[in-house]
Amino acid sequence: ASEAEGLVRIALKKRPIDQNNRVATRLSGEEGQHLGGANSLGS
């Protein structure tokens, strides 16, 4: 049916936010600050 409609469907997987991920986010945030973000929108 999708092909007939000219649609291409890609299934997405979901991963819940977990504690480990939050810790890693914090760590990577600190890492990002050290990187300086030359390309960052904020800068």
Partner 1 sequence: EDEGDIVALQNYMNAQYFGEIGVGTPPQKFTVIFDTGSSNLWVPSAKCYFSIACYFHSRYKAGQSSTYKKNGKPAAIQYGTGSIAGYFSEDSVTVGDLVVKDQEFIEATKEPGVTFMVAKFDGILGLGFQEISVGKAVPVWYKMIEQGLISDPVFSFWFNRHAGEGEGGEIVFGGMDPKHYIGEHTYVPVTQKGYWQFDMGDVLVGGKSTGFCAGGCAAIADSGTSLLAGPTAIITEINEKIGAAGVVSQECKTVVSQYGQQILDLLLAETQPKKICSQVGLCTFDGTRGVSAGIRSVVDDEAEKSNGLHSDPMCNACEMAVVWMQNQLSQNKTQDVILNYINQLCDRLPSPMGESSVDCGSLASMPEIEFTIGGKKFALKPEEYILKVGEGPAAQCISGFTAMDIPPPRGPLWILGDVFMGPYHTVFDYGKLRVGFAKAA
Binding residues for partner 1, per CB under 8 A? 3, 5-22, 24-25, 27-29, 31-32, 35, 37-42
For the bound state, the minimum distance from the C-beta of residue 9 to partner 1, rounded and expressed in Å, comes to 5
For the bound state, the minimum distance from the C-beta of residue 2 to partner 1, rounded and expressed in Å, comes to 8
For the bound state, the minimum distance from the C-beta of residue 30 to partner 1, rounded and expressed in Å, comes to 9
Cα–Cα distance between 38 and 32 in angstroms, integer? Answer: 10
Cα–Cα distance between 24 and 22 in angstroms, integer? Answer: 5
Cα–Cα distance between 23 and 43 in angstroms, integer? Answer: 25
